[in-house]
Structure formats: C-alpha cells, structure tokens
Amino acid sequence: MEAIQDSTMIPAVSVDVDRPKEKILSARVQAAKLVAICVTAYPGSDKYQTEQAVNNTVNLWAGNFIDDDWSIVAMALTKHISISKWPPSIAEIREIMTEILNPDLITPDEAWEIVSKNIDTDSGWEDAECCFPLPIIRAVNMVGYANLRDMRKNRRNYSGNKNAGLDRIAFEKAYTPEYEREKQTAQLPRHLKEALEQAKYAFAGESRRLYTETQKRLEKRDREKTDLMRYVLNDIELEALA
C-alpha cells in the first residue's frame, strides 16, 4: 500500500498540462485516499492486486475527478460500496454523482407519472404546458397530447386491449433519448465537456455551425416563453388571492 500513501510516485496524466501544481498534487492525494478505501472494501479484487494497478487507478481517478468536489466523489463511492459487490468504474461513480448533483434530471418513470396524471384529470395541455420542464414538453409535443390522451382513454376503456400501454410506450420513446443525452452530458468531467465542445465546433462545417446556433436560439426562445407563461400565471394567481 506504499503506492497509495506516496502520491508523488504517480505519473502525470494528460489533463494536468496547464493546471496549477498544487491542484494536481491535491487531486492525487484525494484520489489516493479514495482508492485506498476501494482496496479495503474489495480486498479480493483483481483490480488492486499489484502496485502498478493501484498506481494506474489513482492516476486515472485524479485526472478524471480533478475539477469535481471530492466530498461528492467520496459520497458517490460510499453509496457504490453500500450497494455493489464489485469495485466501481469511473462511469459508475459519475452516474451516482449525477444523481446527487442534478435532482432536476427527471427520469422517464417520473416524467410519465406527471404527464399521465395530467391526462387522467382531463386537464388541457395548453394551460399545463408552461408548468412542465422543457424535455417533457418536447416529448409530449412530439407524440401529440391528443394522441396520448386518446391512447390512454382506450387503455382504460377496454380491458385487455392490444393497445394497452401504448400511451406510456409512445411517450417514453420520445422522452428517453433526450433524458439520456442530458444525463450523459451531466456525467462528463467539466474539462472534457469543454474540450469536446471546442473540438466539435472547430471541426464542424458551416451546416453544423448553423444548426448549433439555431438550436441554441430556439432553446433560449423556449425558455423565455416558459418563463413568461409562469410569470403570467403567477400574476393571475396573486390577483385572484387579492
């Protein structure tokens, strides 16, 4: 375990090039502590059987989590150890971190629950739309609220109907890819996310640049429209209470 205790033995990783030495050293110290916990929690794992394997793991964790809050990384590791018999991969730790840091990421199950409740109460979509997150709004609009409502009514009206559950299937088919994209983006380390964005834009042709700029403009307009509707509704509620 000497390799864990002496973080100076660990070679630099590629993401360290332009970082302050203090931050690099601190990241390796923190990573070494967490890897030591892994070694203790999973004593029989082949991943930690040699000094070189431990060094490589510490080096990898230091580089990957260097921009993250190490207390959150530790929390994610603790959860993983509590629920898994196997040592964690970086992706597994990042997935738990995403759950902790992004409570606004609404799972497909949660999203369908509130959409179906809106349908079941016979509420219209125009009045309710501004109260839903944008990914849910886009998914509902993609399928069509009237289509979802009809499929759900048919499911309730005819027991054993071959179309039973098609309302949920149609919604989740539209919503899940967007949810997964947001989740994967949230899981990326900040330095990698920035590098990928820069590379994507640098190598993109005119069509991709125009597409990206238009997409950002439309997303901004959608956010402004939603914020305005919420503001108007809030004003109406305040007037009603006055």
Helix (H) or strand (E) holding 3, with range, is helix 2-5
The answer to whether residue 174 scores a pLDDT higher than 90 is yes
Instruction: Encode pLDDT of 178-187 as tens digits.
Output: 899 889 888 8
Contact 174, 139 (CB under 8 A): yes
Average pLDDT, the chain: 82
The answer to whether residue 74 scores a pLDDT higher than 90 is yes
CA 100 distance to own-chain centroid: 10
Percentage of the residues of the chain whose pLDDT score is greater than 70: 80
pLDDT at position 7? 41
With bands split at pLDDT 50, 70 and 90, how would you rate the model's confidence at 75?
A: very high
The more confident residue out of 39 and 126 is 39
pLDDT at position 36? 96
Instruction: Encode pLDDT of 76-125 as tens digits.
Output: 999 999 999 999 999 999 999 999 999 888 999 999 999 999 888 877 78
Instruction: Encode pLDDT of 16-44 as tens digits.
Output: 456 788 999 999 999 999 999 999 999 98
State how far the Cα of 135 lies from the Cα of 148, in Å rounded to an integer. Answer: 16
pLDDT at position 185? 87
Q: How many CA atoms lie within 13 A of 152 on its CB side?
A: 21
Give the global pTM: 0.65
pLDDT at position 39? 95
pLDDT at position 8? 40
| Orientation angle between helical segments 90-101 and 70-83, nearest 10 degrees | 110
pLDDT at position 232? 59
State how far the Cα of 68 lies from the Cα of 70, in Å rounded to an integer. Answer: 6
pLDDT at position 152? 86
The answer to whether residue 6 scores a pLDDT higher than 60 is no
Q: Once rounded to an integer, what is the mean pLDDT over residues 186-204? A: 79
Q: Output the CA torsion sign for 132, 133, 134, 138.
A: negative
The answer to whether residue 51 scores a pLDDT higher than 80 is yes
